[in-house]
Amino acid sequence: MNILIINGPNLNLLGVREKSIYGDQSFETFFKSLKEKYAVSSIELSYFQSNHEGAIIDKLHEVGFDIEGIILNAGAYTHTSVAIRDAIAAINTPVIEVHISNVHQRETFRHHSYISSVCQGIIVGFGLKGYELAIKSFV
């Protein structure tokens, strides 16, 4: 089973950025251990990060007819991007929306997601563990 994790803008700064909200672990460190853990079960995890809306859309188009699952943390684009919403609706691969923080406990502009309605499920507020919960749900 092939699963791709896509992280959107500013998530390259995990471990550095607003640690009280997002924690102090870099995504690369977290991803390395996750990849090793699931490799033994023949689950091939890959990871893509971009700060650019179009690059995220291109990646969804590229993999979205071939692989079994996509885990997407679209970062701030969650709250702004009709284009990413339309890309998710256009592809066949199911997408799970993940947010590290509980966006509903935060500013009101984070309460609305353009992508939730086209995602298979939503995991919010469980920290980095949310990515693993999404993998488990695909498995």
Residues near ligand DQA (CB under 6 A) are 10, 73, 75-76, 78, 99-101, 103, 110
Nearer to ligand DQA, 1 or 116 (CB): 116
Annotated catalytic residues are: 22, 99
- Shortest approach of ligand DQA to residue 38 CB, angstroms? 21
CB distance 74 to 50 below 8 Å: no
Nearer to ligand DQA, 32 or 112 (CB): 112
- Shortest approach of ligand DQA to residue 66 CB, angstroms? 25
Nearer to ligand DQA, 85 or 99 (CB): 99
- Shortest approach of ligand DQA to residue 22 CB, angstroms? 7
